[in-house]
Amino acid sequence: MYPDTTVYIIGHARTQADNAITEHFKGFFIGVVVDYITDEIVDISCSSTIPTTEKFIQSLFINKKLDKYYGEIDRQIEQRYFGTSQKALSTAYKDAVKRYAEVKEKYYK
């Protein structure tokens, strides 16, 4: 399904205790498929309880790059995503960027 030039990265964040995601998943996760040659996000999913949430998050991330933190992605989250896990999504994004940098450094210099 995915080319050999892709890797799978997980970004994690805590969510508020009263969040349905916390009750179901114990945290917020994004799973990101990235082409390590171009650093482009080719697919993303998340620990959401509503399918529309996942589709909307995909629209924010797919075809963007994960090679470094981009403030524009964070601004899009802040200005367009008003789910209760908004802060968790931003934190999970930053965690995924960090993990991806570690993977690139170790395996794909």
Whether 98 is covered by a domain: the verdict is yes
Residue 1 counted as domain residue: no
Q: What's the pLDDT score for residue 62?
A: 98
Q: Structurally, how many domains does the chain consist of? A: 1
Residue 16 lies in a domain: yes
What is the predicted pLDDT for the residue at 24? 46
* Interval 65-89 mean pLDDT: 94
Reported pTM = 0.89
Q: In the chain, count H helices and then E strands.
A: 4, 3
Burial of 8 (0-12, 13-18, 19+ CB in 10 A): exposed
* CATH code of the domain containing 39: 3.90.1010
Residue predicted with more confidence, 14 or 51? 51
Query: Measured between alpha carbons, how far is 84 from 17 in angstroms, rounded to an integer?
Result: 11
Q: Is residue 80 part of a domain?
A: yes
33 domain-assigned: yes
pLDDT tens string 20-34: 455 544 678 899 999
Q: Look at residue 18 and tell me if it is in a domain.
A: yes
The proportion of the chain whose per-residue pLDDT surpasses 90, expressed as a percent, equals: 72
Q: Strand, helix or coil at 30? A: strand
pLDDT at 109: 79
Is 109 a domain residue?
Answer: no
Range of the domain at 32: 6-104
